[in-house]
Amino acid sequence: MARLKVTPTRMNLNTLKERLATSKRGYKLLKDKQDELMRQFLELIRKIKN
């Protein structure tokens, strides 16, 4: 992971906090999407087997 050169100001702290929150939300959405696609895929495999 790359390190950022950031000046230690309150404004930069708030900006980084917002970026972190956005990244966490995006990660959760992608994880949920992956889980749903896997569920659909496994369901399709079960249908094909029968």
DSSP assignments along 1-50, one per residue: -PPP-----HHHHHHHHHHHHHHHHHHHHHHHHHHHHHHHHHHHHHHHH-
Q: Is the pLDDT of residue 43 over 80?
A: yes
pTM for this predicted structure: 0.71
pLDDT of residue 1: 67
**Residue 3 pLDDT:** 83
The percent of residues in the chain predicted with pLDDT above 70, rounded, is 98
pLDDT of residue 42 exceeding 90, the answer is yes
Q: Please give the average per-residue pLDDT across 38-49, as a whole number.
A: 97
